[in-house]
Copies of this chain bind each other. A is one copy, B any other.
Amino acid sequence: MSVVTIKDLAKRLGLSAATVSRALRDSYEISTETKQMVAKLAEELGYIPNPYASSLRRRKSKTIAVVLPEVADSFFSLAINGIESVAKDKGYHVLIYLTHESFEREKAILHQFKSGRVDGILISVSEETSSGGHIKEVIAAGIPVVFFDRICEDVETAKIITDDFESSYKATRHLTAQGCKRIAYLSISPALSISIKRTEGYQQGLADSNIPATESEIILCENDFEANYQMIKDLLKKKNRPDGIIASVEKLTPPVYLVCRDLNLSIPGDIKLISFTNLQSALILDPPLTTITQPAFDMGKSAAVILFKGIEKKNFDLLKQRVTISSELIKRVSA
C-alpha cells in the first residue's frame, strides 16, 4: 500500500495541489462544496497529513510531552492516566519521555523540544536536577511548560504540587503520637523540591513533638535496590536504632520490609513505618502499610488542563498558575 498524497487527491479531483491543501486546512478561500468534496475523497483513500510538513506550516504537532523520572512508581503511572484522560478529549497525542533520574538525559530531552517537536510539556524533574536553566530555554523558545510534583523553584511557570511539608509533618506527628522517640527519614535527593519540603515538614514535626534534632537521622538513599538495602540494614543494626521510619518514596518500602524480616525486627512492634506511595498492594503487605497517598491522578489531570489552557488561550497567564492538592495519611497496621 502506498501513501496517499495531496497530489494524488488533486489529480483525482482535477484541482491544483494548493487548492486541495487549502481545502484540507479549512481555508476561507475555498468554497464549502470543494471542501466537502476534498474531505470525502481524503477519507475514502485514507489520506494522512504529513506531520512534519504540516507542523512546519501550522507549528502545531497536536502532541504534548510528559517528561518523568520513571514509570515503575505508582505515583507516576497514575499521574499519566490523569494526563491522558484530558489529552484524549482534546485529540492530542501524549508522548512519554523517561529521564531515569539523570539530569543529563533530562537536558538532552528538553534540548530537542526547542525546535518545536511538541506543543507543550509536562515535567516532573529528575532527582539530580537542582536548577532549571534547561527548562527556561524551552519556555523562552515559546513552548508552554507545566511542572507537576517535582518542580524547579527557580523557573517561573505553572506548578501543580501536593502539600509535601504538611504530609511529612503529619506522618512525623503520627509516629511521635504512637511513642516513637527516634525517627529516621529516608530521602532520595537533597536538592529536589519535594525532598526539601518533606524534610522540613519532618523536622518541624520533630520540633513540635519536643524531640531534639540530635535524635533525628536523614538517610540519603540511591537509585539502587542493593545499596539501599545495605544502608537501611546498617541503620537498623545500630545500637540506638530508630523506632520509626518515614520512607519518602515508594521504592524505599521493599528494602525496609526485607531488612526488618532479615534482622527479625517486627513492624510495627520494633519499628513503625510510613511510606509515600499509591501502590494498591500497600493493603496486602505483611503488615499492611500506613501510607501518605498522593492525589496522583488529580495532579496529572490538573496539570494537563492548565497546559491546554496555556496552549490554546493567548490571554491565559500560564506562568502564574499554582495549584496545591492535598495528600492523605491512610492509617493501616505498620504505624
Contact = CB atoms under 8 A, between A and B. Distances in A.
B51 A112 contact: yes
B97 A94 contact: yes
A130 interface: no
A100 B100 CA distance: 23
A293 interface: no
B80 A93 contact: no
Nearest to A225: B280
B52 A56 contact: yes
Interface residues of A, number: 54
B112 A93 contact: yes
A329 interface: no
Query: How many monomers of this protein are in the complex?
Result: 2
B93 A96 contact: no
Contacts of A51: 52, 112, 115-117
Contact of A71 (B71, B115, B280): B71
A30 interface: no
Contact of A279 (B48, B53, B137, B281): B281
Nearest to A98: B84
A1 B105 CA distance: 22
A288 B286 CA distance: 8
A315 interface: no
Interface string A262-281: 00000000000000000111
Contacts of A70: 77
Contact of A284 (B50, B140, B286): B286
Nearest to A140: B1
A13 interface: no
A109 B92 CA distance: 11
Contact of A286 (B49, B114, B285): B285
Contacts of A284: 253-254, 257-258, 261, 285-286
A34 interface: no
Interface in A1-58: 1, 3, 48-53, 55-56
A283 interface: yes
A281 B280 contact: no
Contact of A97 (B49, B93, B105): B93
B71 A93 contact: no
Contacts of A112: 48, 51, 93
A326 interface: no
A111 interface: yes
Interface of A: 1, 3, 48-53, 55-56, 70-72, 74, 76-78, 80-81, 84, 88, 93-98, 100, 105, 109, 111-112, 114-117, 137, 140-141, 225, 253-254, 257-258, 261, 279-281, 283-288
**Top 5 closest A-B pairs, CB basis?**
A286-B286, A96-B96, A72-B77, A52-B52, A71-B71
Given A52-B52, A95-B96, A95-B97, 14 more contacts: A3-B115, A48-B112, A51-B115, A51-B117, A52-B56, A53-B56, A71-B71, A72-B81, A80-B98, A84-B98, A94-B97, A254-B283, A258-B283, A285-B286
10 contacts: A51-B52, A51-B117, A52-B52, A72-B74, A77-B77, A84-B98, A96-B96, A258-B283, A281-B281, A284-B286
